[in-house]
Structure 1
Amino acid sequence: MEDRRGYDRDEIFSKKVKAGKRTYFFDIKTTRSNDYYLTITESKRKINGDNFSYEKHKIFLYKEDFLKFVDALNESVDHVKNELLPDFDFEQYSNEDSENELDDELKWE
């Protein structure tokens, strides 16, 4: 019998965020007991000669930790934006996603 440990759980929701050479996936899945959890996956494309592969890192986040995680993330981002880089224009990156998606569609391989 194959041990799959829940990695093939149905995705309830998925959101993809392209960020330069990295792509982040936010996937909501179900447990065997019909509860929900979030996986956050960072995927980075690595070039190996003429081929490429993907290096992936995954975080499993359970509902009891959602608020603590979001609070810590917001506090960390706010600290960088307000204390470490108060004069930096973070809005310059807001249109980058749509431009990258268009560029990806137009590339010939």
Structure 2
Amino acid sequence: MEDRDREKIYSKRVRAGKRTYFFDVKATRSNDYYLTITESRRQGQGESYTYEKQKLFLYKEDFDKFLEALQETLCHVKQDLMPDVDFSQFAQHDREQSDDFSTELKWE
């Protein structure tokens, strides 16, 4: 069975500007679980477009190492490279865009 045919156990979508990230938990044939992280970017404009996708597979034995490295890297960027940036402003901006999108959907 190919990866795209495997049942998704859990899925989380994160919209980030022109990119969308998908975090999908899937099961192996032996009912073991793994995570796929997919970045999807829309290419083209109007009715003529395609999606470019990049996929990363993460297996249970690497979860903790991956999370630790990601947290360490983000802390380095935030604290050492960009200490003057208020990263909470980006979360606020995302919430406002989400609210605007929800409002637009209600009125259409």
* Secondary structure of the corresponding residue to residue 15 of structure 2: strand
2-structure distance, mates of 1:54, 1:99: 26
Q: Secondary structure at the match of 2:54?
A: strand
| Structure 1 alignment gaps of length 5 or more | none
- Alpha-carbon distance in structure 2 between the residues aligned to 1:71 and 1:95: 26
Aligned-residue RMSD, C-alpha: 1.7
80, 96, 99: which one aligns with 2:96: 99
Larger RCO of the pair (alpha carbons < 8 Å, separation 6+): 1
Letter in 1 for 2:59: Y
Percent same amino acid among aligned pairs?
57
Higher helix share: 2
Number of residue pairs matched by the alignment: 104
Q: Which runs of 4+ in 1 moved over 4 A?
A: 102-105
CA drift of 1:51 comes to 1.0
Q: Look up the SS of the partner of 1:95 in the other structure.
A: helix
Q: Choose which of 44, 48, 69 in structure 2 pairs with 1:47.
A: 44
Give the Å deviation of 1:104: 4.6
Mean Cα displacement is larger for which, 93-102 or 69-78? 93-102
d(CA) in 2 for partners of 1:7, 1:35: 16
Give TM-score scaled by structure 1 length. 0.85
Distance in 2, Cα, partners of 1:37 & 1:50: 35
